Amino acid sequence: MKLPWNDYSGKLSPLKLTVFIALFLPAAWTALAFATSNLGARPLNEAIHQQGLWTIRLILIALAITPLKAILLWQRLILVRRMVGVGAFTYVLLHFSLYVTDQNFNLVTVASEIVKRIYLTIGFIALLGLAALAATSTDRMVRRLGRKWQSLHRLVYLIGLLGLIHYSMQSKLEQWEPTIADGIFVWLMGYRLLAARFAVRGRLGLGWVAALGVGATVLTGLGEALYFNLAFHVDPLRVLSADFSLQTGVRPAAIVFAFSLIVLVAGLARERLAPPPQGSQRGRARFA
């Protein structure tokens, strides 16, 4: 039996072991906080929220593995992509199970709420999508599905989008972190679009990575301004001006810019330490 922390050769992978342990930490922290009454006035509701939040984070981390593998020239990073994806499904299942618990295990009420509330409908569709991906994540299913496996698992892009919509609708006024997640998702999808057209030997040039960071930052700021204008009739210029001020705290666009900059600097540092093979011919790679 192949253990989850072993690589394809059956040897212990420190990277896989570290990620495997790390995947348990958010749920363990929530369980400890719940047991010690440190989850606020509505502990079960807060626990539901935290597991859903970690589902979104893990989906974004799973999507980030392909670009980071190429930018950082770290091929072994691909070893943990499937593990993180299954972790995302585990957290969404825990998220849903806690919601069922909050409804006193009344499945009729749960089903009725999912049908009546559009954000719950969207979230449940995303859960079913993650379940399908998790069920086909074994080595046996990869071999059985062949080329169809990669096509099926590209559904993670749609699932990620649905998860972000669910998160934003559920958060209502608290749009700070949902907007950050949206901006990072834009970066991740933008990378794939650019890489499909401009990657050389499977690696997108760092000039494109820099431009992508600027584009994702601008779109994050514009998206936030549009949301507040449509929802609360706030002048978009007021929201955009806040991106250049700390009076309202660090805005989502600044966080997305920082994320983009960190990835770019890490790529530049890695390139200096180990320059990629030279080649002028453009090559297209598969991006999952």
Give 235-264 pLDDT, tens digit per residue: 999 988 888 887 778 999 999 999 999 999
Lowest mean pLDDT among 81-85, 196-200, 239-243: 239-243
Higher pLDDT, 276 or 230: 230
Share of the chain above pLDDT 70, in %: 95
Q: What is the SS3 assignment for 6?
A: strand
CA dihedral in degrees (36, 41, 47, 53; nearest 10)?
A: -130
pLDDT band at 284 (very low <50, low <70, confident <90, very high): very low
| Cα 38 to Cα 34: distance, rounded to the nearest angstrom | 6
pLDDT exceeds cutoff 60 at 282: no
Radius of gyration of the CA atoms of the chain, in A: 20
**145, 212, 236, 237, 260 from 240: Cα distances, Å:** 47, 19, 6, 5, 19
Lowest mean pLDDT among 1-15, 61-75, 270-284: 270-284
Closest CA to 235 of 224, 220, 250, 248: 224
pLDDT band at 208 (very low <50, low <70, confident <90, very high): very high
Closest CA to 189 of 59, 37, 281, 93: 59
Token pair of 106 as six digits: 């009344």
Provide the residue type at 50 as one letter.
Answer: Q
Dihedrals phi, psi of 106, to nearest 5 degrees: -85, 95
Lowest mean pLDDT among 56-70, 183-197, 225-239: 225-239
pLDDT at 139: 84
Dihedrals phi, psi of 200, to nearest 5 degrees: -110, 120
| DSSP code for 12 | B
| DSSP code for 280 | -
pLDDT at 286: 36
pLDDT at 276: 57
pLDDT at 285: 38
pLDDT exceeds cutoff 90 at 274: no
Average pLDDT, the chain: 91
Token pair of 83 as six digits: 């593990």
pLDDT at 125: 97
Could you tell me if residue 199 is left (phi over 0), alpha (psi between -120 and 50 degrees) or otherwise beta?
Answer: beta
Q: What is the pTM of this model?
A: 0.91
Token pair of 98 as six digits: 């806690």
pLDDT exceeds cutoff 50 at 89: yes
Token pair of 65 as six digits: 């593995």
